[in-house]
Amino acid sequence: MVGRSSLPEGALFLGFDSSTQSVKATVLNNELTIVASETVNFDSELPHYKTEGGVYRDPTDDGRIFSPTIMWVEALELVLEKLKPKIDFSKVVAVSGSGQQHGSVYWKKGSEAVLSSLDPSKSLLSQLKDAFSTMDSPIWMDSSTTKQCREIENAVGGALELSKLTGSRAHERYTGPQIRKIYQTTPDVYESTERISLVSSFMASILVGCYASIDETDGAGMNLMDINHRIWSKTALEATAPDLEQKLGNLAPAYAVAGRISPYFVERLQFDKNCLVIQWSGDNPNSLAGLTLNTPGDLAISLGTSDTVFGITAEAKPGLEGHVFPNPVEPDGYMVMLCYKNGSLTREDVRNRCAEKSWDVFNNYLEKTAPMNGGKLGFYYKDHEILPPLPAGFHRYVVENFNENSPDNLTEREVQEFDPPSEVRGIVEGQMLSMRGHAERFGMPNPPKRIIATGGASSNESILKLIAQVFGCPVFTVQRPDSASLGAALRAAHGWLCKEEGGFVPISCMYMSNLEKTSLAAKLAVPAPGDGELLKKYTSLVKKRMEIERRLVEKIGRA
Ligand code: ADP
Ligand code: XUL
């Protein structure tokens, strides 16, 4: 059995997270302890792009949300510059990264030649600015491809068929529908595209100086990959756009080596020429790795720009709800996930409207309002929501008859507004009730043995307390809320070890029996609440919420 000592003394492992609002980096040493971290926030540190929350919203195309591809390049350069005084790049033996899932980049014909001959005396920005057939990268927040989703589903025999084939029914943000929209609306862009990368493989391509493969885990977020065989599905490709396979290149497992770091980084930043670049993956899959999620009863809740709920499973049983991806650190396993678009940015919106733009005031309201919010139940969609597929809009109800025993006797009436403290509890409690309802419906552990919380908002203890109450289980957190870049650094080490051992080795052998001493250890943040009566009431409220939600979807949901 391979032991932890297999990671060489003095070696560093660098993990990035190219996410919606920022690029982050985390550096682990051979003891798997964090030795450095850095962030570049797009809005504040690259203000010339004029993004809001890292994105642009197209006023002429409802639901179209995209980011400037070149901003991610500039952010990568800047985060490396910021890391330079903190670590010795020549000690980095492997690099990997996370990308926001589903987002895509369109390299124009001839760009691989540019990538492979970058001049180290010049910036990446100046050399790559003309390498794309479109400057706009559709991202995961986009919801403008409903038409393409239905076309693709119909072409493969329906939504359930597509889900069985690729792990998910068609979703607007998935890369296949996005590619189809580009093919249909701007055929010249499609035609002049030599390679389509995901955000993850895009960043890896820059580091290796040629087109990196799409990793199988992130590839499952495209509606294009056969989830059981982990190859491109001919049926799905044909339903999406012509001649697509050659534009996608090969798939590779997450633990594979994408290549050695390109001479550009060796000369410019003094990386070692043997430094390996391990396949980048999606941010949620890498979070799963960073949270060392390996027990089927555990659930992770990520509260970042998006909110996600995920766990692991041995078999792929995709249905109409949720997503199935390959497990990035377990070649035969899968991860299951739910995704909400109205996460942190919508919580911020309520904070700004009702809580004096302060998390302290927000938390004070959470603490002073009672669990169940006096029956006030809110649905807050600042942007078109993914789960459920509802348009932007706020819906508020007051649920009555809580003193009756049967949850079926609960009645509700719609109201126009809540007082500010109830609005604050309404959004957070509503989000958690929805997560619990959908997680149970999707077959995730109920109740979970424990929840591990991550993402920006997981630093908020009042929110963690509410999670524990609604789910009725203890909540753990890890040392830093950015498990996606931590997971990427860990996967860099794992990929390095797999290469060293000449094949896949379980990731746990890097921290076996020593997890508590590493930066990966999860710590109890909120113990399981002992109040069984409250949990029962939440169970009734979940049922009521799911019923109201179903009616909203029937009335105004996206078809
Ligand atoms: P990304 O998905 O871009 O990686 P992060 O995980 O970095 O996002 O989360 C960023 C978000 O974290 C911010 O938009 C902010 O709303 C949220 N956040 C940061 N601190 C707190 C806090 N104390 N309470 C609630 N939310 C917070
Ligand atoms: C997952 C999803 C989001 C992005 C956020 O399906 O769309 O969580 O990965 O970066």
- Our answer on whether the CB atom of 287 is closer than 6 Å to any ligand 1 atom is no
Cα–Cα distances (Å) from 496 to 6, 171, 284, 503, in that order, read 10, 34, 21, 10
Is 507 domain-assigned? no
Q: What percent of the chain has pLDDT over 90?
A: 94
What pLDDT is recorded for position 404?
A: 60
Distance CA 483, CA 24 (A): 10
Ligand 2 geometric centre to CA of 101 (Å)? 5
Digit-coded pLDDT (tens) for 172-200: 999 999 999 999 999 999 999 999 999 99
Answer left, alpha or beta for residue 63, where phi above 0 means left and psi between -120 and 50 means alpha: left
Pairing assessment for the beta strands 92-99 and 12-18 based on DSSP bridges: parallel
What pLDDT is recorded for position 531?
A: 86
> Which pTM does this prediction carry?
0.96
Ligand 1 pocket test: which of 305, 380, 480 has the largest number of ligand atoms within 8 Å of its C-beta? 305
- Our answer on whether the CB atom of 454 is closer than 6 Å to any ligand 1 atom is no
DSSP class of residue 261 equals: P
Whether residue 53 has pLDDT greater than 80: yes
3-class DSSP state of 79: helix
Secondary structure of the chain: what % helix, strand, coil (to 5)?
A: 40, 25, 35
Number of domains present in the structure of the chain: 1
- Our answer on whether the CB atom of 540 is closer than 6 Å to any ligand 1 atom is no
Whether residue 233 has pLDDT greater than 50: yes
What pLDDT is recorded for position 132?
A: 98
Across 243-252, 404-413, 530-539, least confident range: 404-413
What pLDDT is recorded for position 559?
A: 65
- CB-based burial, 64-86: b 16+ in 10 Å, e otherwise: bbbbbbbbbbbbbbbbbebbeee
What pLDDT is recorded for position 2?
A: 42
Ligand 1 geometric centre to CA of 357 (Å)? 14
Q: What percent of the chain has pLDDT over 70?
A: 98
What pLDDT is recorded for position 4?
A: 46
Whether residue 406 has pLDDT greater than 90: no
Digit-coded pLDDT (tens) for 473-512: 999 999 888 999 999 999 999 999 999 999 999 999 999 8
Distance CA 195, CA 405 (A): 60
Q: What is the CATH number of the domain that holds 190?
A: 3.30.420.40
Ligand with smallest separation from the Cα of 336: 2
What pLDDT is recorded for position 405?
A: 61
Distance CA 496, CA 500 (A): 6
CB 466 within 8 A of CB 367: no
What pLDDT is recorded for position 1?
A: 40
- Measured from the Cβ of residue 254, the count of other Cβ atoms closer than 10 Å reads 29
Digit-coded pLDDT (tens) for 268-303: 999 999 999 999 999 999 999 999 999 999 999 999
Report the nearest atom of ligand 2 relative to the CA of 141. Answer: 7
DSSP class of residue 52 equals: B
Is 91 domain-assigned? yes
Ligand 1 pocket test: which of 344, 350, 367, 428 has the largest number of ligand atoms within 8 Å of its C-beta? 344
Is 23 domain-assigned? yes
Residue whose entry in the numeric block shows the structure tokens 């400057």: 135
Distance CA 529, CA 532 (A): 8
Ligand 2 geometric centre to CA of 411 (Å)? 35
Digit-coded pLDDT (tens) for 361-376: 999 999 999 999 999 9
Is 559 domain-assigned? no
Q: Which two tokens stand for residue 189?
A: 């862009």
Ligand 2 geometric centre to CA of 5 (Å)? 34
What pLDDT is recorded for position 3?
A: 45
What pLDDT is recorded for position 49?
A: 98
Is 510 domain-assigned? no
Range among 104-108, 445-449, 532-536 rated most confident: 104-108
Residue whose entry in the numeric block shows the structure tokens 């510059």: 81
Full domain range(s) for residue 197? 12-286
Ligand 1 geometric centre to CA of 457 (Å)? 5
Which candidate, 491, 477, 79, places its Cα nearest to that of 283? 491
Ligand 2 geometric centre to CA of 174 (Å)? 10
Across 163-172, 224-233, 423-432, 531-540, least confident range: 531-540
- Our answer on whether the CB atom of 283 is closer than 6 Å to any ligand 2 atom is yes
What pLDDT is recorded for position 512?
A: 86
Is 73 domain-assigned? yes
User: Residue 359's pLDDT band (boundaries 50, 70, 90)?
Assistant: very high
Is 223 domain-assigned? yes
Digit-coded pLDDT (tens) for 145-159: 999 999 999 999 999
Tell me the average pLDDT of the chain: 96
What pLDDT is recorded for position 480?
A: 87
Is 391 domain-assigned? no
Cα–Cα distances (Å) from 344 to 331, 430, 461, in that order, read 32, 14, 15
Whether a cis peptide bond, with omega within 30° of 0, leads into 328 is no
DSSP secondary structure, 391-439, as one string:
-SEEEEEEEE-TTSS-GGG-EEEEES---HHHHHHHHHHHHHHHHHHHH
Average pLDDT over residues 339-366: 98
Distance CA 206, CA 197 (A): 11
Average pLDDT over residues 427-447: 95
